[in-house]
A = this chain, B = another copy of it.
Amino acid sequence: MSLSPLPDLMIEPLVRATLMEDLGRAGDITSNALIPEDYKWKASLVARQEGVIAGMDFARLAFTLLDGASQFLPLVADGSFVHAGDVLAHISGRARSLLAAERTAVNFVSHLSGIASVTRKMVEAVKPHKAEICCTRKTTPGLRIVEKYAVRAGGGSNHRFGLDDAVLIKDNHIAVVGDIRAAVHQAREAVGHMVKVELEVDTLEQLEKVLDLPLDAVLLDNMSLEQLTQAVAMVGGRFATEASGRVTLESVASIAATGVDVISVGALTHSSAILDVALDDGF
């Protein structure tokens, strides 16, 4: 299935705010000082590293929101794997406008492609196991929606988008309510029929106690590979199994081999380096 773009309506305010953050109170004083107002320019958005691209719509909006007369022709789609030197888009228009939007466009594409690229590496690493690579709520402030989109662009899956769209009972909740079984029932009753309920367990003993409960998923936190394997067997398909806890590119394949359904990785969104992307003269 192809990756679904986010409607412009959803991302325009963010792109607009990011442009304003860079234009400040006087705009691009360098380009305005040096370049005649109607001087036309052509430029190429180019990958300087190999990886997976995400954020082409953000780049398009950066250029066209700043100047409706700018043209943006994408040459690759989000989710594509590119090599260093690959041209991602041709852009043309007033030189001033393109230079003023350059940093905003590049910052979006390099940040989101960084996330997509790391996700893709994880996704490749777990093949041929069935495990999905999934992000968490450990996202950069203000970018929850777009970073989760970047994870999808990399072939990953999304966990909860917020505190409100699914129940995840964690250790601190149990610390408060005490009775783990009561907690699950209580949660199940408190939410509507379209809301899933997941429980975090840290030990196989905890897991044992909840196998008959109306859960949709269980989060196996910081378990060893042996524990994970055993947990998957214990669950026996009753509900989804999710492994988490400092997963790395090195460890992810062995985790997938335990048979878990989902591996969630906070680092996809909180610690990915950018994919190097730049705007070059001409095309």
Contact = CB atoms under 8 A, between A and B. Distances in A.
A176 B34 contact: yes
Interface in A134-151: 134, 137-145, 148
Interface stretch (A121-129, A183-191, A205-213, A251-259): A183-191
A67 interface: yes
A107 interface: yes
A198 B33 CA distance: 13
A204 interface: no
A91 interface: no
Interface string A5-37: 111111000111111111111111111111111
Interface string A160-172: 1111111111101
Nearest first, the 6 closest Cβ-Cβ pairs linking A and B are: A33-B190, A24-B164, A271-B273, A24-B162, A4-B32, A26-B164
Contacts of A4: 27, 32-33, 37, 96
A31 B141 contact: no
Contacts of A97: 7
Range, interface on chain A: 35 or more
A29 B144 contact: no
Contact of A142 (B1, B18, B67, B68): B18
Interface of A: 1-2, 4-10, 14-37, 39, 41, 43, 58, 65-68, 95-97, 99-100, 103-104, 106-108, 110-111, 114, 132, 134, 137-145, 148, 157-170, 172-173, 175-177, 183, 186-187, 189-196, 198, 216-217, 240, 242, 261-262, 267, 270-274, 279, 281
Q: How many subunits of this chain does the assembly comprise?
A: 6
Given A7-B100, A177-B35, A186-B34, A194 B165 contact: yes
A1 B35 contact: no
| Most chain B CB atoms below 10 A, which of A7, A111, A132, A274 | A7
A157 B193 contact: yes
